[in-house]
């Protein structure tokens, strides 16, 4: 799941979908964000931490074990369409990985905003600036997906171990 105004985040999302073999879906806004007026409206929403109107996605995040969510940085802040998605679906998000594209700085702040709104600690994060996008971006896709999978496997193993331990603690001997 991703939002892209200029195409940079879309190219990263496409690369991650290829690397992971996962589904790819764009967040679609109901407002035209092209050109100067679109840029100004997007800036307004970001400055005032407003939600942007989005269409309902075709797929529910609750149908997946892992959702990778990507956004551009807008003025070192989270884009309003992704803010809306996170506010709307935070309660049913499974494990997550966050990826951010940025022209310069602000990616760390955007990741913190995504964590705060979603209430989720990401399995892994990826921040790519314009320079990294123009170079060997595909290398980053595979590395990011490997980090996501490794963290997911570790969390799943801990959860299973914890469940086993609590089950064995309950059955200590004959039933009453």
| pLDDT value at residue 12 | 93
Contact 71, 2 (CB under 8 A): yes
Mean pLDDT computed over 8-33: 89
Residues above pLDDT 70, as percent of the chain: 84
| pLDDT value at residue 15 | 92
**pLDDT top residue among 106 and 110:** 110
Q: Average pLDDT, whole number, for the chain?
A: 85
Extents of the domains making up the chain:
8-170
Tell the CATH superfamily of the 8-170 domain.
Answer: Flavodoxin domain (3.40.50.360)
> pLDDT band at residue 172, thresholds of 50, 70 and 90?
very low
> pLDDT band at residue 175, thresholds of 50, 70 and 90?
very low
DSSP 93-136: --EEEEEEEESSS-HHHHHHHHHHHHT---S-EEEEEHHHHHSS
**pLDDT top residue among 18 and 169:** 18
Contact 125, 96 (CB under 8 A): no
What six digits make up the tokens of 62? Answer: 């609750």
């Amino acid at each position: 799941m991703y939002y892209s105004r200029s195409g940079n985040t879309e190219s990263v999302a496409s690369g991650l979908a290829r690397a992971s073999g996962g589904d790819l879906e764009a967040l679609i806004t109901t407002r035209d964000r092209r050109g100067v007026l679109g840029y100004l409206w997007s800036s307004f929403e970001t400055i005032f931490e407003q939600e942007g109107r989005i269409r309902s996605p075709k797929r529910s995040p609750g149908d997946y074990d892992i959702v990778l969510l990507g956004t551009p940085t807008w003025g070192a802040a989270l884009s309003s369409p992704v803010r809306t998605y996170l506010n709307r679906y935070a309660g049913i998000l499974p494990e997550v990985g966050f990826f951010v594209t940025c022209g310069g700085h602000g990616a760390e702040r955007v990741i913190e905003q995504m964590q705060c709104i979603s209430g989720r600690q990401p399995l892994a994060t990826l921040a790519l600036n314009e320079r990294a996008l123009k170079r060997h971006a595909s290398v980053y896709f595979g590395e990011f997906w490997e980090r996501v999978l490794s963290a997911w496997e570790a969390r799943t193993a801990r959860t299973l171990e914890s469940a086993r331990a609590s089950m064995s603690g309950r059955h200590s001997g004959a039933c009453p």
